[in-house]
A and B are shown apart, each in its own frame.
Chain A
Amino acid sequence: MLKQLLATTAAALALSAATASADVKIGSIVELSGPGAAAGVNFHDGVKMGFEEINAAGGILGEKVELLEYDSQTDPQVSRAMVQRAIDDGVYAITGTVFSSSTVVNMLVAQQAGIPQFTGSEAPSIVQKGNPYIFRTAFGSQKGMPKVAKYMAEEMGIKKVALVWANTEFGKGGYDAFIEQAKVYGFEIVADIPTEQAQTDFSADVVKAKNSGADAVFVYLTEEESARFLREAQKQSIGLPMIGETTLIGAKVIELAGDAANGAMGHVGLSADAGVPAITEMVDRFKIKYKYTPDHNAIKGYTAAWTIKCVTEQIGKFDREAFVEKMHGLTLSVEECPGILMTTSWDDTGEMSRESFFVVVEDGKQTVKAILPPN
């Protein structure tokens, strides 16, 4: 009996010692369920794969990474609670959330605790609130919109636009950014169509866009809504070019919309079909591991993991303040940090910059039509 008790105690002590000596903790707080699951699951799987590869290569400064997972349920208040939980669990940095409506709420919690946070969100407001701890993994829409608007005006000769947008933080940010560019390029907005998060029936919206006299429809919705919109547009033979920024032409949208996605076009910061060898190799490994084609969110998550590793190793210690200081104004090249996939810069607000692509969906795949320079 005594022997058994001693053995159990020894085992427990060994276990607790192992835990104590371990590992740097990273919190992945993403939309694993709810309307944002398509984006969140991709982002999380990218983060997970990134840290698994980092651990296989020796970890960060010799420490293994323990990735803690939290489901925000695509609910801003839940996401806030999950960020707090991650902080209580002692994380070094946070990856996520992807939905802007959540990020604008939860990033304040991370800021108060002084935790660096890598978000997949694209609403311009996220980096305009003076939060030094927030860093993007993709452009804000205020960076992407000028690129896509320029292409629409100069390459496609579009003058009248029907604007379909998500009435969320993400959508409003994109909407404002597009309206600003519409003024620059003289687009007339002939139909202004807000839609709801998780909206299922887009028949009225497509009718409105179709009969608006527009030269093109600009669609700024999240992934599942984009797919439903494209299906409805096909059902009603909309007969207009459909252009988007990042989400409309994502891999998940193409999978969900099927044939209806063909012909959709837009600007993407990252593309599995970009022809960049490092991205292609990452995508191939991802497909083998998760049995599905990753979209830009997965690539964002993956690069977030490698950014945390590379920047921490550049400063040589697990020091959040030094990390944040290093990130501001940093350009991280592929030579220094291959996992970043493309050379990327961050400014003092946490906004990022790199080359991007204008793509058209053909035969269910993104085809790159133009490589657009950083702005």
Chain B
Amino acid sequence: MTEFLQLILSGLAAGSIYALAAVGFTLLWQASQTINFAQGEFVMLPAFFVLVGMTVLGMPMWPSVLFALVVSLLILGVLFKKLIVEPMLPHGTLPLVIATIALGLLLKESVKEFYGATAQPFPPVFPQTVHQIAGVSVSMQDVGNLIVSMLVIGGLQLFLNRTRTGRCMQATAQNPQVAEILGVNIKRMVMYTFLINAALATVASVLISPIYLAKFSNGETLGVVAFTAAIVGGFNQIRGALVGGLLIGVLDNLSAVYISAQYRSAIPLILLIMILLLRPQGLLGTAEGRTV
């Protein structure tokens, strides 16, 4: 039983970080029909901005995280929208998808070129203490990751549902033409979505890099997991992405121990195929319309 609880806890902690990336994925789709296949690289990159802040600029960790957030908002938010999405979107979804794949490669290779191909140690965000509760080793890092991720996603949900700007963003996602007629500045709302995605990627990056280590290729795994989580949970719902992320984190752990360690990475993909066959809108997604 303790083994089971340990696996659930570790799975939830990892899954909550996947959920951050998956939520960003769904947000971009909702707001601008952008399927961002560079999402994994978006999560990989901010860790290197933090390391640049610490090692090149000589700043302590938290100012470096702030620096990474600002740079990410600029590059992964503003520049991504202005230089890639806006010029490509009029040509349809497929060219944009291909453009994001190319962007992912560019980001990956750039990090490799400028920072090196080997993994880099990344400072832990939470204390490395462990408490024994009912036989389960509860690490502060796992608990911290879970709490921060849940707070960020909960805060985002509140922002979207309870604030005027959030509702304007939802209106833009649901029906941009009507939203514009009603006086919503849809360009600004879409920009906010890109900024939120960049911020989510930064938080995910800072949380996951102490475990994954900072490496240029981290996005390969994260991108697939985020995409799978978004599809499994429901591509048009934040809570769907949340559930998808948590489910994959837990399922990965349980399948590694109780089914087969060798086929662990296949299990989420089998789940993905089953969901697509049986419930294509995802576990919590809705079959029609789009809401943020």
List the interface of chain A (C-beta within 8 A of B): 32-35, 37-38, 41, 167, 193-196, 198, 200-201, 203-205, 207-208, 210-211, 224, 227-228, 231-232, 234-237, 252, 255-259
Contacts and interface: CB of A to CB of B under 8 A. Distances in A.
Contact of B256 (A37, A204, A237): A204
Given A207-B7, A208-B257, A37 B139 contact: no
Interface stretch (B98-106, B175-183, B214-222, B271-279): B214-222
A204 B7 contact: yes
A32 B212 CA distance: 19
A199 to B, nearest CB: 9
Contacts of A234: 128
A193 B256 CA distance: 9
A223 B228 CA distance: 28
Contact of B118 (A38, A228, A237, A259): A38
Nearest to A257: B121
7 contacts: A41-B118, A207-B7, A208-B257, A224-B215, A235-B130, A235-B141, A236-B10
B142 A34 contact: no
Contact of A211 (B3, B128, B256): B3
A259 B121 CA distance: 11
Interface string B107-141: 00000100011111100000010101000010101
Interface residues of B, number: 39
Contact of A231 (B210, B254, B262, B264): B210
B137 A237 contact: yes
B148 interface: no
Nearest to B141: A235
A205 B10 CA distance: 11
A167 to B, nearest CB: 6
B6 interface: yes
Contacts of A256: 119-121, 213
B53 interface: no
B217 A198 contact: yes
A194 B262 contact: yes
A160 to B, nearest CB: 17
Given A38-B119, A204-B264, A207-B6, A259 B212 contact: no
Given A204-B256, A224-B213, A259-B128, 10 more contacts: A33-B112, A33-B216, A41-B117, A167-B262, A204-B261, A211-B3, A231-B211, A232-B211, A235-B139, A256-B213
B211 A236 contact: no
Contact of B7 (A32, A33, A203, A227): A203
A29 B125 CA distance: 38
Contact of A35 (B132, B142, B217): B217
Contact of B261 (A195, A200, A235): A195
A236 B137 contact: yes
Contacts of B213: 224, 227-228, 256
B14 A203 contact: yes
A235 B118 CA distance: 23
Given A200-B218, A227-B213, A231-B210, A258 B130 contact: no
Interface string B213-252: 1011110010000000000000000000000000000001
A201 B128 contact: no
Interface centre among A37, A195, A210, A255 (most CB of B within 10 A): A37
B128 A235 contact: yes
Nearest to B139: A235
A228 B218 CA distance: 13
B4 to A, nearest CB: 9
B72 interface: no
Given A167-B262, A207-B10, A32 B117 contact: yes
A234 B137 CA distance: 10
Contact of A236 (B130, B210, B218, B262): B130
B211 A200 contact: yes
B36 interface: no
B106 to A, nearest CB: 15
A286 B119 CA distance: 20
A236 B261 contact: no
Given A194-B261, A200-B211, A203-B11, A235 B252 contact: no
Nearest to B6: A207
A204 B117 contact: no
Contacts of A257: 121
A195 B252 CA distance: 13
B174 interface: no
B3 A207 contact: yes
Nearest to B108: A33
Interface string B130-172: 1010000101011000000000000000000000000000000
A193 B261 contact: yes
B265 interface: yes
Interface centre among A37, A193, A203, A231 (most CB of B within 10 A): A203
Nearest to A192: B261
B253 interface: yes
A196 B261 CA distance: 9
